[in-house]
Amino acid sequence: MTFEQFERASPEELKAQAKQCFDLINDAQIVNEFQVAKLLEAQFYMQELDRREDSRIAIRDFRLEVAVIALIFIEIILSVAGILLAIKQGNGEDKLMDKQNTILANLQNSTSDTGEAMKELAVITKAMSDNTAESRKTLSSVDKGVHDQLAMFYDPSVLLFYDTGTEPRAVGKHGPLGSYLERVQVKW
C-alpha cells in the first residue's frame, strides 16, 4: 500500500489490512522475525484507526465548544437586553407613580376644599333657615296687625235687593274685607 492509498483508505480497508496481518501471524510456517514485522504492521493500521477516531472526536468536541460559546454569548446579550428593559420599565413605573401621587394629592386637596365648602354651605343654610323663621314671625305679626287695623275700620253695611211688588229676596253684607250674599226669607 502506498502513502496516498494509506491516506485515502477507509476505516474498513484499514481493518481489513490489520486482519490480514493477524491472519499471517497465525500461520505456523512463518518465521519469528516476519511475525514481529506483521504485528508491527497490524499495530500501525490500528493506530491509524485510533488516530482518525480521535481526530473525529476532537472535531466534534470543537464544534460543541463553539456551540457552547455561542450560547453563552447569546445568554450575555439577552441578559444585557433584559437589564435594559428592566431599567426602562422601572423608569416608566416611576413616572407613572409620580403621576398617580400628583393625582392623589390633587384629589386630597379637592376633597378638603369640598369639605370646607360643605361647612360654609351648612352655615349659610342655617342662617337662611333662621332668617326664614324670623321672616315668618314678622309676617305673621304684620298679618295680625293688618287684620286688627282692618277690623277697627270695618263698617259693615247691609244691602237689600227687592223688586217692586214683590217681597225682598236676599240680604248681602258689604265691607272692606269683601262681599258675600246670604239668602234670607223676609216676611212683611
At residue 161, the pLDDT reads: 52
Cell of 60: 466534534
What's the whole-number mean pLDDT along residues 130-144? 84
39-49: average pLDDT: 86
Handedness of CA 25, 29, 35, 41 (dihedral sign): negative
Please give the average per-residue pLDDT across 179-184, as a whole number: 48
Give the percent of the chain with pLDDT over 90.
35
Q: How far is CA 48 from CA 13, 52, 70, in A?
A: 11, 6, 33
Helix H, strand E, coil C: the string for the chain is CCHHHHHHCCHHHHHHHHHHHHHHHCCCCCCHHHHHHHHHHHHHHHHHHHHHHHHHHHHHHHHHHHHHHHHHHHHHHHHHHHHHHHHHHHHHHHHHHHHHHHHHHHHHHHHHHHHHHHHHHHHHHHHHHHHHHHHHHHHHHHHHHHHHHHHHCCCCEEEEECCCCCCCCEEEEEECCEEEEEECCCCC
175 vs 136, higher pLDDT: 136
Of the listed ranges 10-19, 58-67, 87-96, the one predicted with least confidence: 10-19
Poorest-confidence range of 36-40, 74-78, 97-101?
A: 36-40
